Amino acid sequence: MAELSRIVILTGAGVSAESGIDTFRAAGGLWEQHRVEDVATPEGFARDPDLVLGFYDMRRAALEKVKPNAAHRALAHLEREFSGELLLVTQNVDDLHERGGSTDVLHMHGELRRALCASCGVRSEPDGPLIDRPQCPACEAKALRPDVVWFGEMPYQMERIYAALTRADLFVSLGTSGAVYPAAGFVQEAKLAGAETLELNLEPSEGSHLFDESRQGPAGTLVPRWVDEVLSV
């Protein structure tokens, strides 16, 4: 492996699967248990806020029962030891990267542990279920929604991500199906800018053919191995 100075890593639900968090599109995954239009769109929230708040309250509570796995810990180790620039972008709304030791994580689809006030736009960390309609700590409106990005909404910090992609010499995609844009298009952005591209996923994803290299297997095995390769150069 050539010496690297700027790496962008994109993670998806597969990175947290071995911690016991359901992925979205697998058989028995979240989108088989719930209709995506009902729980992950602004229109679904407007139609039935209790259903949506209950869905995210349940997933936030479930976070207390799971732990980071070897893939999260390996990425935190990479953050500590890599001497170049590293941007860790996750589509995941869980906090397992942080609990695994990563300190700079860009949550492009938001975070389960945070709420967004639909009235004043302030973000906060609620200490109880949103279905109980707690007040916004800033404006006191009872208008808190999960601080997550639904279909049709703009993912967070896209400028920072695209800036890093255009400077990267390696883009790595971990545990994501490549079914959701704009994240699914990052591989092409990185390639256009001249980066090498690598996919680590349990199985070939929808976009596997777009990567220079694609390795298949569980993240808990593949990610620590890849991190060792990077740090040994």
Residues of the shown chain interacting with ligand BJW in the complex, contacts defined by CB under 6 A: 12-14, 17-18, 23-26, 29, 40, 91, 93, 109, 148-155, 158, 175-177, 179-182, 201-203, 205, 218-219
- Distance separating alpha carbons of residues 118 and 141, to the nearest angstrom: 9
How near is the Cβ of 74 to ligand BJW at its closest, in Å? 12
In this structure, what token pair is assigned to residue 45? 């929230």
State the alpha helices, DSSP H only, in the chain: 14-17, 30-33, 36-39, 42-47, 49-62, 70-81, 96-99, 158-167, 186-192, 219-232
Question: Of 44 and 169, which CB lies nearer to ligand BJW in the complex structure?
Answer: 44
Between 123 and 135, name the residue whose CB sits nearer to ligand BJW.
Answer: 123
Closest-by-Cβ residue to ligand BJW is 14
Q: Of 2 and 154, which has the nearer Cβ to ligand BJW?
A: 154
Torsion 42-98-159-172 (CA) sign:
negative
Tell me, yes or no, if 109 is annotated catalytic: yes
CA angle (196, 201, 205) in 5-degree steps: 85
Phi first, then psi, for residue 136 (nearest 5°) are -65, 130
Q: Which is nearer to ligand BJW, 82 or 162 (CB)?
A: 162
Minimal distance, residue 5 CB to ligand BJW, in Å: 27
Q: What is the DSSP letter of 20?
A: T
Of 133 and 151, which has the nearer Cβ to ligand BJW? 151
Nearest-approach distance from CB 31 to ligand BJW, in angstroms? 8
Shortest distance, position 230 Cβ to ligand BJW, whole Å: 18
In 64-125, beta strands by DSSP E: 85-90, 105-107, 110-117, 123-124
Catalytic residue among 72, 77, 97, 109: 109
Rounded to a whole number of angstroms, the minimum distance from the CB of residue 71 to ligand BJW is 7
Tokens coding 212: 């220079």
Amino acid identity for residue 51 in this structure: L
Identity (one letter) of the amino acid at 176?
T
| Active centre residues (catalytic) | 109
